[in-house]
């Protein structure tokens, strides 16, 4: 429904929700870490996902002492990592549907081969 | 309360200089930062490492810790020695910032007086702090994402008594989950996080959507995948099967000469998303019968002769 994707937060609301001052949020937007609708801070509009990204960006910047361009890079790499982890899990699940029952048969096959070698 | 050996936590010698301590901290902080690590105890580890660095980077606190260190061993039960007076070098404002992040062990050495005391903050020129945001996973079934649903969630809120000691309050809430939510998406419930300090407002609660893996259906974007097992003769001759979808059963025609891995698209039977309705894909998987007998074997022999099919033809190419 509307609440999740709606761009319903103004800069002021985002400051309040993240407990961060406006200049830090402006920096985060200028680094392209979040991309609000609107062309100037006065008419920016953010959504819920952007609140969590902003908070995450500030934590990384602050806790790991990363400068802002480094934070932007870390955020996009972490995003990609999460995407790949999810994709990997999903592919693993697909693969299991085709191969789990076969693993035992392959082991037996191997044992037979080994036994065959011993006979020679 | 367990003794924490901050040197051990950072993996440094007791003689390590400031630079070595900083490097050790930075390495571990990167490794265990909850936003980076998928280690199951990342958050606790990160807090522990941060706490250790907080003490060892500060010469006064480090000296105090060195004094107390002779009374305890890492991971063992610890009581502050009789007559030990927590230092005054830790302001209430520091305490407030660290509230909820430092261990009881830390508070017992560096002072819990006023640490989290609500009265204290209110008297202190109106020091107010917004309550912590809480983030928790919300596991939901694929079926529940098809339309709006209501779930009862239970979570724990940190709470500080007048002495600043932390305990937890259990809270339950009924939450409306909008249809079409995705894995990893967050729902924000304003003001349902930890209570603020002084006249600070409560934090927010963030629910992170986790789709529970379905025993039959896999998710791929907004499409669903169902693996359809077929016998070799079903794959060869084709048939009509009744198959499950997330919303009831449907009939599906399997064409003759179907292959393992082949995908059949059933339009509009995937997940229901804001950006469109997904499809369901039936992925075929030919399986051999588990038991056999002489008659069946004979039929396979006949088939072998009649079909003259070499599935590994590619291998014999020069």
Q: What pLDDT score was predicted for residue B86?
A: 60
Q: Which B positions 73-112 lie with beta carbon below 8 A of chain A?
A: none
Q: What is the pLDDT, as a whole number, of residue B207?
A: 94
Taking all residues of chain B, what is their mean pLDDT, rounded to a whole number?
A: 85
pLDDT value for B117: 36
Closest CA to B278 of B294, B266, B288, B289: B266
**B199 pLDDT exceeds 70?**
yes
B188 touches chain A (CB under 8 A): yes
Q: Which of A51, A59, A93 sits opposite B35 (nearest CB)?
A: A59
The ipTM of this complex is: 0.74
Domains B6-122 and B134-211 share a fold: no
Residue B128's contacts (CB-CB under 8 Å, 6 or more residues apart) are: B121, B196, B197, B198, B199, B200
Binding-face residues of B in 132-151 toward A, CB within 8 A: 133, 135, 148
Asked whether the beta carbons of B202 and B192 are under 8 A apart, the reply is: yes
CA-CA distance, B19 to B57, in Å (whole number)?
9
* Rounded CA separation B120/B310 (Å): 84
Q: Output B50 or A113, whichever has higher pLDDT.
A: B50
CA distance B165 to B111: 11
Any CB–CB contact under 8 A between A49 and chain B?
yes
Tell me which of A3, A4, A55, A87 to substitute to probe the interface with B (most B C-beta atoms closer than 10 Å).
A4
Q: Is B229 helix (H, G, I), strand (E, B) or coil?
A: strand
Which residue is closest to B176 within chain A, CA to CA?
A: A1
User: Of the given ranges (B36-40, B98-102, B106-110, B291-295), which has the lowest mean pLDDT?
Assistant: B98-102
Is a pLDDT exceeding 50 seen at residue B113?
no
- Domain B217-307 coded CATH 4.10.490.10: no
Which tens digit of pLDDT belongs to each residue from B250-265?
Answer: 999 999 999 999 999 9
- Whole-number Å distance between alpha carbons of B234 and B316: 29
According to the model, what pLDDT value does residue B101 have? 67
Is there a contact between B185 and A49 if contact means CB atoms under 8 Å apart? yes
Among B148, B190, B218, beta carbon nearest to A90: B218
Q: Which CATH architecture has domain B134-211?
A: Sandwich (2.60)
A107 against B101, higher pLDDT: B101
Least confident of A86-100, B67-81, B205-219, B288-302: B67-81
Mean pLDDT score of chain A: 84
Half-sphere exposure of B144 (CA within 13 A, CB side): 20
CA-angle at B174, arms to B169 and B179, nearest 5°: 135
Q: Quick check: A65 contacting B, CB < 8 Å?
A: yes
Cβ-defined contact of A97 to B285 (cutoff 8 Å): yes
Give yes or no for A97 touching B (CB within 8 A): yes
For residue B281, the cross-strand partners are: B225, B265
Lowest pLDDT segment from A78-87, B16-25, B159-168: B159-168
H-helix segments, chain A: 2-5, 11-18, 22-30, 48-63, 68-99, 102-119
Find all residues with CB under 8 Å of A91, minimum gap 6, and list them. none
Task: Report the topology of domain B6-122.
Answer: Helix Hairpins (1.10.287)
Q: Which residues of A touch B188 (CB under 8 A)?
A: 17, 48, 51
pLDDT in tens, A48-57: 999 999 999 9
- Determine the pLDDT at residue B265: 97
Place of tokens 């390495």: B27
Distance from CA of A52 to the nearest CA of B (A): 8
Most confident of B65-79, B86-100, B185-199: B185-199
pTM of the model as a whole:
0.74
pLDDT at position A2 over 90: no
What are the structural domain ranges in chain B? 6-122, 134-211, 217-307
Higher pLDDT, B85 or A59: A59
Specify the higher pLDDT residue, A47 or B77: A47
Among B117-126, B130-139, B301-310, name the one with the lowest average pLDDT: B117-126
- For the segment B230-248, the average pLDDT, to the nearest whole number, is 96
């Amino acid at each position: 429904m509307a609440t999740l994707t709606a761009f319903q937060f103004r800069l002021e609301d985002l400051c309040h929700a993240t407990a961060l001052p406006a200049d830090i949020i402006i920096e985060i937007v200028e680094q392209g870490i979040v991309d609000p609708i609107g062309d100037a801070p006065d008419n920016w509009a953010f959504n819920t996902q952007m609140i969590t990204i902003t908070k995450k960006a500030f934590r990384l910047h602050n806790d790991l002492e990363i400068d802002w361009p480094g934070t932007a890079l870390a955020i996009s790499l972490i995003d990609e990592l999460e995407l790949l982890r999810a994709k990997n899990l999903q592919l693993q699940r697909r693969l299991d549907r085709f191969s789990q029952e076969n693993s035992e048969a392959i082991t037996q096959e191997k044992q037979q081969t080994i036994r065959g070698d011993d006979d020679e | 309360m367990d003794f924490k050996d901050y040197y051990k936590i950072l993996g440094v010698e007791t003689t390590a200089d400031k630079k070595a301590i900083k490097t050790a901290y930075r390495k571990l902080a990167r490794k265990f930062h909850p936003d980076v690590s998928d280690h199951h105890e990342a958050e606790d580890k990160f807090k522990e490492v941060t706490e250790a660095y907080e003490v060892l980077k500060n010469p006064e606190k480090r000296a105090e810790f060195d004094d107390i260190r002779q009374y305890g061993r890492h991971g063992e039960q610890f009581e502050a020695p009789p007559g030990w007076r927590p230092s005054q070098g830790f302001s209430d404002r520091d305490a407030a910032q660290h509230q909820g992040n430092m261990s009881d062990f830390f508070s017992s050495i560096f002072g819990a007086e006023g640490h989290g005391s609500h009265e204290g903050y209110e008297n202190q020129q109106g020091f107010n702090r917004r309550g912590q945001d809480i983030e928790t996973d919300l596991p939901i079934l694929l079926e529940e994402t098809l339309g709006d649903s209501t779930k009862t969630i239970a979570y724990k809120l940190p709470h500080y008594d007048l002495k600043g000691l932390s305990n937890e309050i259990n809270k339950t809430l009924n939450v409306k989950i909008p249809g079409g939510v995705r894995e990893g998406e967050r729902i924000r419930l304003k003001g349902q996080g930890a209570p603020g300090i002084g006249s600070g407002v409560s934090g927010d609660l963030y629910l992170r959507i986790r789709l529970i893996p379905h025993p039959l259906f896999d998710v791929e974007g907004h499409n669903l995948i169902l693996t359809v097992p077929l016998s070799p003769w079903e794959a060869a001759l084709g048939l009509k099967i009744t198959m499950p979808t997330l919303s009831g059963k449907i009939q599906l025609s399997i064409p003759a000469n179907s292959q393992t891995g082949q995908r059949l698209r059933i339009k509009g039977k995937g997940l229901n998303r804001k950006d469109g309705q997904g499809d369901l894909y039936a992925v075929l998987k030919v399986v051999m019968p588990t038991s056999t007998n002489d008659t069946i074997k004979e039929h396979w022999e006949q088939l072998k002769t009649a079909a003259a099919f070499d599935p590994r033809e590619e291998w014999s190419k020069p």
